[in-house]
Amino acid sequence: MVKNRLFVVFLSHYSFSFRIMKNEHLKSLFIKNLKVFRGERHYTQEVLSELSGVSGIPDIECGRTTPNLNTMIKIADALNVDLWQLFYDWDSARPVGFDSSEVQLKYYIKKLIDRL
């Protein structure tokens, strides 16, 4: 999806480090949301692997493998969600792990993306 790639370009431009998968809370949110979105679409791990071109979906969901940024984008595209949705804490209804300047950046990026 163009939105995911644009989101990553802006994050890279503002020197946002995508080492979030080293944060255990964010990693667990990613895995949880991956399973939820996959389940909502009634995709098996095999179907998601085929749609995304990522062969390690079972290993990612078990936390044995950590996906890189390109893999996360492929998964988000296959699930037809924006990348940030895989890191959103839906239980508390707020993004987790971002300081206020990053939240502001996300707001401006979303505004720009919505104009596309």
| Rounded-to-integer distance, Cα 10 and Cα 27, Å | 21
Residue 109 domain boundaries = 2-115
Looking at the structure of the chain, the number of domains it has is 1
pTM: 0.66
- In angstroms, the first-to-last Cα distance of the chain is 12
- Residue by residue, DSSP assigns 87-105 as GEETTTTEE-S--HHHHHH
CATH of the domain at 6: 1.10.260.40
pLDDT range class, residue 16, cuts 50, 70, 90: very low
Tokens of 7: 């989101």
pLDDT range class, residue 91, cuts 50, 70, 90: confident
pLDDT, average across residues 87-98: 66
Q: Residue 61: pLDDT above 90?
A: yes
Mean pLDDT of all residues in the chain? Answer: 77
Which backbone phi and psi does 49 adopt, to 5 degrees?
A: -60, -45
Burial 17-38 (b: 16+ CB within 10 A, else e): eeebbeeeebbebbbebbeebb
Q: Residue 42: pLDDT above 90?
A: yes
